[in-house]
Every structure is written in C-alpha cells, then in structure tokens.
Structure 1
C-alpha cells in the first residue's frame, strides 16, 4: 500500500486561494471525496494533506477544515502539513499553537512564489531555528536555481527534518538537468533533508511525456538521497496537469520496476510512516 505525503484539497466555498486565478486548469473545487475514490483504487491507504497556499488569514481555518475531514468515517487523512509565514513576527505564537495539535505534522512555506531574499531575512531564519527539536518537519518547495537557498536553511537548522518537494521541481519538459542535477547532489549531502518523489508529471510535457522522460530525474533523486530518505507524494490535483493520479501511480510502479520489495516499501510507505509517526 502507498502513503501519499502530498495531497491538496481545494474547496473554494470554504477557503480562499488567491493564486488560483492565475492557473485556470486548477481554479475549481477539488474535493477530498473526488481524490479518495481514485486513491483507494490506486492502493493509497494513508494520506497527509499539504497546505494549498491559502490566503494568510485562512491558514489556521485550513488546518481545522482538514482535521474535520480526517474525523469522517473511513477517512484516509492522517495529518496536515500546515502553511506558515516564518517571515512574520507572530510565527513563534503560531508555532506553539500547532505544537499543541498532534494532527499537524509539519510546515511548508512555498519559496518560489516570493522574492529570493525572503528566506535570507534574519527573522525568517530565526523562526526556522525555532522548529529545531519540535519533531515537526519543514517542506522545501523551490525552483532548481533556488536549491542553494534550501541548503542554507537545512544547514541553519540541523535538528529539523526538511523535505525537498517534487524532486526539486526540475524542468522535465525542457530536458533541463543543469544546475538541477548538481544542486540536488549537494543538498542530498545534508542528512536532515529527505526528498519527495512527487508530482513530477506536472513538470513534463503534458501531451508527450513517457516514463523514460521522468526516469533520469527520479533515479538521480533516489540515487542521491538513498532509499532511506525518499517518500512518495501525488501532488493531486496539480498532477492532473500531467495525466492525473492513476497515471502517476502507474508511472511510479514502472519507474520502480526491478527494485527490491524492501526498496519499494521504503519509498512508498515505510519512510513516511517513520518520518511523520503515522
């Protein structure tokens, strides 16, 4: 069975998502129920919800919304990676509130949608250090050219388990491997960073990609981090831009053809269960 560490729920009636106006293909409600029906058919047994860059005023309402969904009978939801704003002075109080909620498993601040210097700000870095020792993870969502900034954060807080989303978001459609390849090799040297094999179909040519187009990027990520520091994620519904959930699951199994049962189990479920105490 598969642990999906990267599900987005979009409910436009409940929460606000300013960025969706610029992405027409995703600018609608994508419900948990729509996801769960397909996820169960694909072998997904457990799911972590990943924040959807809601309006800042909706960050904590989003947590409560997903937690309510998790309480429904038969729900696949096991926890929440919450949005956060380490650049804000009220982050310490926010952090303490989330530490008190066992449903919250970690945080993410999407960095490729803000100026590069946001993560270099003294307050941002001070607040990242505050996550040390909490047991909460921090997802890094950056462009390939920004991976050095992610490296700086990982070095700053060695007690935080960081997770590099989407294999470092390589430009698969453009067949661009540099500087992504070198930067990925470098960040993988940090023992407190894991990599998420997630949603890379969204970065490939939506009409022409094949498993072989994905293979160099996925295999370099796994080879760099090793089987004990990789987890799997759907990035649904963003993955619908490259074929959808079932297509990505099928591609994953094809990419893992020839690997051992133990290696598959680590990537698809065991590492995630250990990292987030699921």
Structure 2
C-alpha cells in the first residue's frame, strides 16, 4: 500500500491559481478522475490533497472542493493539507471554524513571501496553535531557506513539521553540501518529519536513479524510516517524470530497506502523523 501525502488537483473553473500563468507546463486542469486511474494501477490506496496556492479568497473554497471529493463513494482522498495564512491575525478564527474531519494539516508556501514572514511572533504563535490542535504544518522552502525552518521548529516544539520535497535540493546544480548540512540540522529536531516527494522536478530533466541516490540516501541516514513519508507531488512531478515513474523510482531507492521500513515510509507513518484511522479508510 502507498499513501500519497502530496496530491495537487487543479480546477480552474471554480478556483483561481495566480501562479499558474508563470508555469505554462502545468497551466491546465488536473482532475481527480485521471489521477485515480493511475493511482489504483500502481498501488496508491490513500491520498491527502495538498493545497495548490490558490488565491487567498479561494482558500476555504479549495477545502470545500476536497471535502466533496472525499464524499465520493470509494474515494482515495482522506483529507486536505489546507492553505492558510498564519501571518494573519485572522488565523485563530480560521482554525476555530475549520472542519477537522477534512483539514488534516496546514501549509503556507514560504518561498513566495519574504523570509521574515515565518520568523515573526504572530506566525510562530499561530503555528504553535496547530500543535495544540493536533495538526501538522508542512514546510515548503527553498534549500537556502532551511535555516529558517530550523528556527521555526525550535520556536514551536509541540508542533509536528513535515519538510516537503526533501527540502527542495538543487540537484541540477549539484548543490549538495549546504543542503546536506541543513538537512542534518533539521533531523536533530525531533518534531520534524521528512517527505520524500517529487524531487525529479529539481533535476533539470536529466536524471537517473544513480544520480538521485546520494540525495535520498542522505535523508534516509539523517531521518531514518520512522520519520519519513512519501508523496507524489503530482502533477509537478510530471515536469520531468510521470506519476508511475516516480513511484517506481521511489521503490527502487528504498529497495534495500526492510519490508517494515518501506511500509513505514510508504504508508504507516502517514496514517500516524495525520491521524488517519483505519475506520476512515474502510468507510471510503
């Protein structure tokens, strides 16, 4: 079984995605039906929808969209990692009214705002609120920003953080050393989890299994199988690979682990971190 903790869906007829105009290769609708066909063929049994940086006015509409998909008979979707604005004074009110049967976690895209945003007292206070509510916070930052992630994790020790895309390494540029040091620093924070997701997108398109292996081996060495989860980052992964290809690549990169270790990364850890109960899966 595979738990995809990082699926983006795009429906431009009901939601606005300002950033897509700058990403022509992705600027189209990406629907659940097409994803589901492939997912069921390659062993994906559970899915979390990852927010797609919609226009701020559409944040709650995106969560409602995910709730509709969850209610479909046989749906693979178990919840939403929702967009929010922790830098806003209205965050506490948003969290109070959030439907936690749908919202399983929160993400704020941080590489599109000034670095100082995630370091303010208000932002940190609101991320701490997530910990009290039992909701993890996904961190998406560029590799150069990872020291900011360390600061945030230290400031909110009771909140679980999930570092997306292995910390967005510059694989194409071969910028291994600084990234590796930052990953080691984050791994020393017990409240940080590493997400193995979509790193082919950072290769520039020319990649091999052997070329990815040192990057993945490093996060395995630092975090270990008990503190890692898997995600597709579909459709972003399609920039330089397909969904099925990324699954096959991931399986190959994890092949030397034990069955229990692979199961932890590919499924079991996600169920624990996002509190996806067995009854939720059986009712789908």
User: Is TM (by shorter chain) over 0.5?
Assistant: yes
In the alignment, is residue 112 of structure 1 matched against residue 114 of structure 2?
no
C-alpha distance after superposition, 1:98-146 (max 9, x if no partner): 2x43211010011111111111222212212222321101000011111
Q: Which runs of 4+ in 1 moved over 4 A?
A: none
Report SS of the residue matched to 2:210. helix
State the distance in 1 between where 2:116 and 2:132 align: 26
Unmatched tracts of structure 1, length 5 or more = none
Measured after TM superposition, the shift of residue 174 of structure 1 is 1.3
In the alignment, is residue 229 of structure 1 matched against residue 227 of structure 2?
yes
Give the equivalent residue in structure 1 for 2:275: 277
State the distance in 1 between where 2:125 and 2:275 align: 26
How many residues were matched structurally? 276
In the alignment, is residue 143 of structure 1 matched against residue 142 of structure 2?
yes
State the distance in 2 between where 1:267 and 1:17 align: 31
C-alpha distance after superposition, 1:140-188 (max 9, x if no partner): 0011111111111111111111000000000111111031000000001
State the distance in 1 between where 2:263 and 2:5 align: 14
State the distance in 2 between where 1:233 and 1:136 align: 18
Measured after TM superposition, the shift of residue 219 of structure 1 is 1.2
Measured after TM superposition, the shift of residue 33 of structure 1 is 0.8
Give the equivalent residue in structure 2 for 1:268: 266
Unmatched tracts of structure 2, length 5 or more = 277-284
In the alignment, is residue 55 of structure 1 matched against residue 55 of structure 2?
yes
Give the equivalent residue in structure 1 for 2:211: 213
Report SS of the residue matched to 1:133. helix
State the distance in 1 between where 2:274 and 2:87 align: 25
State the distance in 1 between where 2:214 and 2:183 align: 13
Report SS of the residue matched to 2:133. coil
State the distance in 1 between where 2:252 and 2:131 align: 37
Please report the TM-score for the alignment, with normalisation by the length of structure 2.
0.95
Give the equivalent residue in structure 1 for 2:168: 169
State the distance in 2 between where 1:103 and 1:251 align: 30
State the distance in 2 between where 1:163 and 1:125 align: 16
Please report the TM-score for the alignment, with normalisation by the length of structure 1.
0.97
Spell out the pairing of 1:1-278 with structure 2 (5 A cutoff). 1-98=1-98, 100-206=99-205, 208-278=206-276
